[in-house]
C-alpha cells in the first residue's frame, strides 16, 4: 500500500449547509435537497484546502445554528452546533480526541440559521453562546488561528453581532490570532447556485477565490 504522508498544514471548517456543500451539484436554485446533489469535495472548504496543500476536517450540519437551528419553533434549540461539536458521530456520545489533530487554522461560518426566521434568539443569548464556543475552540486549539466568517445573504443583524463579539473577544483576550471577515461575494442566482439557493461548484469557487488571498496573507501561506 502507498504511504500517505501527513501534510504540514491543517484546516478545520465548522459550519452549516454552505460548509457542508448542500445542493452543490444541483442544476437549479429551485431544486430541493437530496443526498445525490450534496458534494462536499467541491465546497469552498475542501477547495481551499487543496489550494493550500492542507489536510482538512469538516464539521458541518445543514440548518445548524450557534443557538437556534433552522426551522425550530423556539428561540433556543436543544441541539445547536456546540452540542455536537465534540462528537465523533452525530448520534453517538463517543468524544473526539482533539489532541491528536491540531489545526493551524479554524474557519467558522455559523449564525445565519439563527436569524433566518423568527423567533430569533435574543442578542444576549446569541453573543453568550458564540463567545463561549470561540473560547472552547481556543482552549482546544491554543496555537491555531481562528477565522470567523459571515456572508450577508439577507438583511438580518447577525453579521454585525458576530463582528462586534469577535472584535471584543479578541481585544479582551489579547488574542491576535482570532479575527472576523465579512465575505460579500457576488453570486449570480442562475449561474452560481445549486439546490435551494445554495452555492454550486461555480459559487463555491467564487467564495474560495475571495477567501484565498485573505488566508494567504493572514497565515503567510
Inter-residue contact 31 to 37 (CB < 8 Å): yes
Confidence of residue 156 (pLDDT cuts 50, 70, 90): confident
C-alpha cell of residue 220: 503567510
Give the model's pLDDT for residue 93.
87
pLDDT of residue 114 exceeding 80, the answer is: yes
User: Greater confidence, 6 or 71?
Assistant: 71
pLDDT of residue 194 exceeding 90, the answer is: yes
Give the model's pLDDT for residue 168.
97
Confidence of residue 151 (pLDDT cuts 50, 70, 90): confident
Confidence of residue 67 (pLDDT cuts 50, 70, 90): very high
Give the model's pLDDT for residue 2.
61
Of the candidates 33, 45, 31, 25, the residue with the CA atom closest to the CA atom of residue 70: 33
C-alpha cell of residue 148: 470567523
Give the model's pLDDT for residue 1.
56
Inter-residue contact 58 to 45 (CB < 8 Å): yes
Report the distance separating Cα 106 and Cα 218, nearest Å: 12
Strand 105-109 versus strand 178-182 pairing type? unpaired
Distances (CA, A) of 17 to 31, 110, 185: 15, 10, 17
Report the distance separating Cα 37 and Cα 136, nearest Å: 33
C-alpha cell of residue 221: 501561506
Strands of 9-15's sheet, edge to edge?
Answer: 54-60, 9-15, 105-109, 145-150, 178-182
**This prediction's pTM:** 0.95
**Lowest pLDDT segment from 61-70, 139-148, 150-159:** 150-159
Which residues, other chains included, contact 126 with Cβ-Cβ below 8 Å and sequence gap of 6+? Answer: 66, 67, 111, 114, 158, 161
Average pLDDT over the chain, rounded to an integer: 95
Cross-strand partners of 13: 58, 107
* Half-sphere CA count of 201, side-chain side, radius 13 A: 7
Amino acid at each position: 500500500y502507498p504511504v500517505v504522508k501527513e501534510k504540514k498544514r491543517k484546516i478545520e471548517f465548522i459550519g452549516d449547509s454552505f460548509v457542508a456543500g448542500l445542493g452543490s451539484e444541483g442544476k437549479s436554485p429551485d431544486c430541493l435537497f437530496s443526498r445525490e446533489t450534496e458534494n462536499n469535495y467541491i465546497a469552498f472548504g475542501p477547495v481551499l484546502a487543496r489550494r493550500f496543500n492542507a489536510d482538512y476536517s469538516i464539521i458541518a450540519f445543514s440548518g445548524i445554528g450557534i443557538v437556534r437551528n433552522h426551522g425550530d419553533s423556539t428561540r433556543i434549540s436543544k441541539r445547536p452546533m456546540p452540542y455536537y461539536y465534540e462528537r465523533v458521530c452525530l448520534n453517538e456520545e463517543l468524544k473526539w480526541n482533539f489532541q491528536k489533530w491540531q489545526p493551524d487554522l479554524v474557519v467558522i461560518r455559523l449564525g445565519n440559521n439563527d436569524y433566518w426566521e423568527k423567533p430569533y434568539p435574543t442578542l444576549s443569548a446569541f453573543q453568550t453562546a458564540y463567545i463561549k464556543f470561540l473560547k472552547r475552540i481556543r482552549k482546544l486549539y491554543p496555537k491555531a488561528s481562528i477565522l470567523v466568517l459571515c456572508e450577508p445573504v439577507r438583511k438580518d443583524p447577525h453579521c454585525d453581532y458576530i463582528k462586534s463579539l469577535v472584535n471584543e473577544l479578541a481585544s479582551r483576550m489579547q488574542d491576535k490570532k482570532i479575527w472576523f471577515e465579512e465575505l460579500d461575494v457576488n453570486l449570480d442566482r442562475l449561474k452560481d447556485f445549486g439546490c435551494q439557493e445554495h452555492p454550486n461548484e461555480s459559487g463555491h469557487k467564487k467564495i474560495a477565490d475571495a477567501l484565498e488571498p485573505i488566508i494567504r496573507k493572514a497565515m503567510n501561506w
